[in-house]
Structure 1
Amino acid sequence: MEERILGVLGGMGPLASAEFMRQLTLLTPAERDQDHIPAVLWSDPRVPDRTAARQGRGPDPLPALLRGIHGLEAAGAGAIAIPCNTAHGWIKGMRAATRLPILHIVEAAADALRAAGIGPGPVGVMGTAATLAMGLYQEGLRAGGWEVLLPTEEEMARLVSPGIALVKANRVADSHAPLAEAAGALAARGARAVVLGCTEIPLGIAAGPALPFPVIDTIEALALAAIRWARASSPG
């Protein structure tokens, strides 16, 4: 059986990529080193800002994303996980440039909602302005029967975007209050769960008291999807 090596296209941001690797390790059923999933992390923080690119304020990140994909191909990866939600706005271009399957973080989040028993109905989604503007979660979750609730423009400007920026600046503890307030506002408007659709957001939410409603950590969801891929054709 061919060894299944996971390629991780990371660096967007670096802390989120490191957390993905941590969760991949902790969530894998293992009793010894050899039970874990072989993985190669390509962590390149030089990838141009994805939100700025979508808003016409910065260069296209696709060439840098493809450079990472080709590096992972050369390293022997059999599939690719991308612990950055906004980067999935370029997934068509990435899939067109590689024979490798790319695990989709929105599909992983939908799987996590179902696993948590959150059936069709209203769910909140937090993310970067670009992720929400591209409709990645709106399209994917509505296809599964969920109604998607988003932060208001004021909540994005005052809470979500500053909270994400604080995590990227390594001020993780400071990010908890604004991100938790934004999530709470979605729950107050009827969200049965809140999808943390930016891989910086779970880090900020975890830096303070647990929230009194379900949240979907998209880093964890993607790690679980990667484990399912790795185990699907494993020997035994």
Structure 2
Amino acid sequence: MIENRFQGRFLGVLGGMGPLAGAFFMTRLVALTEAERDQQHMPAVLWNDPRIPDRLAACFGNGEDPLPWMQNGIDRLVGMGAGAIAIPCNTAHIWYERLAAATPVPVLHIVQSVLNALRRRGVDRGRIGLMGTSATLGLGLYQRALQAQGYECVVPSAEEIERYCTPCIALVKTNRIEQSLAPALECIRLLRDRGIDALVLGCTELPLALPEPQRLALGLPVVDSVDALAIDALSWYRSESA
């Protein structure tokens, strides 16, 4: 039996999609925490399972269903005592409703976290440029939520996604991060030419491709889905611990 002093809520993180994005999310959880000592940080457990089948292939009917694997990871985390679940993978949120319905604890939604982050940045209207996977953008995961809140979405064409977003994300997944910057910047240039007011990095590999100095040089608000989800996870922990 676990002693009472070892009990308490912690965040469960379903990672592995891709592995570096999951690890990066954990790093950002720590970096975004205002703390003066170790004990003020949020307890978290990462289930970083790269065996989860490819989400893109499944969306387009060319691969194994990842849902049982994702549910297995969540079940493991809940079994360990997780009080909430964060999933640092945008495309995985295509299965969000089924995962949340089968999970007895809150599952944070990364798109809602991005909406919250836009408002914190003072962007409550306007034209939002979106970058992400072909499935996330093609199935309208962000567009539906943003348009419901009065935003206008500016999305790369299918050809532009395959030319810029897809290789950028693939380069990060294969640990060629420096090479991923060029296609990211080219996609951003196209979106800026179409008059965007803010940019959403709607894939958890994209923040690794576009480091902070590059974002500052753009001169427009950039919302990072990794940081947005991490901030909402920290808010959950503070509210539960109050």
> TM-score when scaled to structure 2?
0.94
Number of the residue aligned with 2:79: 74
The whole-number CA distance in structure 2 between the counterparts of 1:140 and 1:209 is 27
The aligned amino acid for 2:174 is A
- Is structure 2 residue 20 aligned with structure 1 residue 18? no
Q: Give the Å deviation of 1:88.
A: 0.2
Contact map agreement 2:128 2:152 (CA 8 A) in 1? yes
Q: How does 1:49-64 map to 2 (within 5 A)?
A: 49-64=54-69
Number of the residue aligned with 1:218: 225
Number of the residue aligned with 1:37: 42
The whole-number CA distance in structure 2 between the counterparts of 1:126 and 1:12 is 17
Number of the residue aligned with 1:133: 138
The whole-number CA distance in structure 2 between the counterparts of 1:115 and 1:207 is 18
Unaligned runs of 5+ in 2: 1-6
Number of the residue aligned with 2:173: 168
Contact map agreement 1:172 1:207 (CA 8 A) in 2? no
Contact map agreement 2:134 2:162 (CA 8 A) in 1? no
Contact map agreement 1:5 1:78 (CA 8 A) in 2? yes
Q: Give the Å deviation of 1:92.
A: 1.2
Q: Give the Å deviation of 1:85.
A: 0.1
The whole-number CA distance in structure 1 between the counterparts of 2:70 and 2:240 is 27
User: Residue 163 of structure 2 is aligned with which of 151, 158, 166?
Assistant: 158
- Is structure 2 residue 133 aligned with structure 1 residue 121? no
Number of the residue aligned with 2:14: 9
For residues 67-97 of structure 1, what are the alpha-carbon distances to aligned partners after superposition, in whole Å with 9 as ceiling and x for unaligned? 0011001111000000000000001111121
The aligned amino acid for 2:83 is G
User: Residue 191 of structure 1 is aligned with which of 192, 196, 221?
Assistant: 196
> TM-score when scaled to structure 1?
0.96
The aligned amino acid for 2:34 is P
Contact map agreement 1:109 1:218 (CA 8 A) in 2? yes
Is the deviation greater in 201-210 or in 145-154? 201-210
The aligned amino acid for 2:22 is S
Q: Give the Å deviation of 1:209.
A: 3.1
Q: Give the Å deviation of 1:4.
A: 2.3
The whole-number CA distance in structure 2 between the counterparts of 1:207 and 1:64 is 33
Q: Give the Å deviation of 1:120.
A: 1.0
Q: Give the Å deviation of 1:233.
A: 2.6
For residues 93-129 of structure 1, what are the alpha-carbon distances to aligned partners after superposition, in whole Å with 9 as ceiling and x for unaligned? 1112111110000000001111111121110111100
Q: Give the Å deviation of 1:138.
A: 0.5
The aligned amino acid for 1:29 is E
Q: Give the Å deviation of 1:207.
A: 8.0
Q: Give the Å deviation of 1:3.
A: 2.5
Q: Give the Å deviation of 1:208.
A: 6.9
For residues 115-166 of structure 1, what are the alpha-carbon distances to aligned partners after superposition, in whole Å with 9 as ceiling and x for unaligned? 1111211101111001112211001111111111101122112111011100
User: Residue 154 of structure 2 is aligned with which of 144, 149, 155?
Assistant: 149
Is the deviation greater in 211-220 or in 79-88? 211-220
Aligned length: 235
The aligned amino acid for 1:125 is L
The whole-number CA distance in structure 2 between the counterparts of 1:59 and 1:117 is 41
Contact map agreement 2:134 2:158 (CA 8 A) in 1? no
